[in-house]
Structure 1
Amino acid sequence: MIQLNNNLRFCPQCGAQSFSQRCAKSLVCSECGFTYFHNVAATVTGFIFYQNKLLLVKRGQQPCLGMLDLPGGFVDSAESNEQALTRELMEELQLTIDNRQYLFSYPNTYTYKDVTYPTLDSFFMIKLNVLPEIIMQASEISDYCWLNPHEIEPETLAFDSHKKALQAVLALL
């Protein structure tokens, strides 16, 4: 069984320190029977191209502070993947998009404050006709660059799913 990597000790329903792992994605309280499900979180990511160059950002926070990343983020409740991608690109880069094509998804993990969340990362292709003015959200991104995707070293990317997705996109180009 996969061990959940989290610090949950107290049941949110009864307050007892009685959580134990029931299966790969849940904990159960032996006092009141409450079950906590550690479900998959959805993320969206954009492969944004302008004149055969790919937009990469440098992470301005943990996890993977300072590593290269593809723009995107988490999907909020009551939001579609497409809405989330549009919102994330506006928040992080002040980038408005009007076209996107869904490519594929990969499972991944995201560790934040000692809790590892399983994620399902959805990837989209975006082709720009005009070089945009990028205004970075400093709390999220410390820099950005446009690179030839064939020259990107996968180990410089922050997340395993992004490394796999880059290989898949290179096969499409």
Structure 2
Amino acid sequence: MSTTVEPARVPGFWAIARRPRWIAALLLALGVAAGFAALGQWQLERSLESTVADERDTETPVPLESVAEPQQVMTTDASGRLVSVSGEWMPGDDLIVTGRLSGDEPSGAAGEPGDWVIRHFVTEGGASLAVAAGYGPVGAGIPQLPVGEADLTGRYVPSESPQLSDFEAGERTAIAVAE
């Protein structure tokens, strides 16, 4: 005679989950998660408390020579400041930078794509500046621009990185003094 052996019964998920050891493991995991959440909140609060606002005045124009020197690295104090400078436009050394957005135009055209006109300006001290002198619709070309001596006031910003795609496409999309 043969006897059949009944297969061992495997307990289900909930039968295992109700065991005291697994309930304790769940409570421990929830406690650790709550602890890390509290520590994350504490860390965020501490970082916001220690934040110091930059109090430098960037909206009052200062002479360019007081914040920057030719052929020197742009400092944090100079970046983004309104500066004034006197000098002369160099005719024939103008270029178009494509793929730009307009600023706050009186016409309400803020944010529309277009081209910037970049001009060569030489200061009274002999330093050269690349100046964004105008904005126009895409493909409009270089408009008739003033020549000779001028007094300028504008925002002094760092150069952008040269783009390899500019060389390949035959147009400029970055204002890079390295080019």
Calculate the TM-score normalised by the size of structure 1: 0.23
Q: Rg larger in 1 or in 2?
A: 2
Relative to total residues, which structure has the larger helix share, 1 or 2?
2
Relative to total residues, which structure has the larger strand share, 1 or 2?
1
More relative contact order in 1 or in 2 (CA 8 Å, sep 6+)? 1
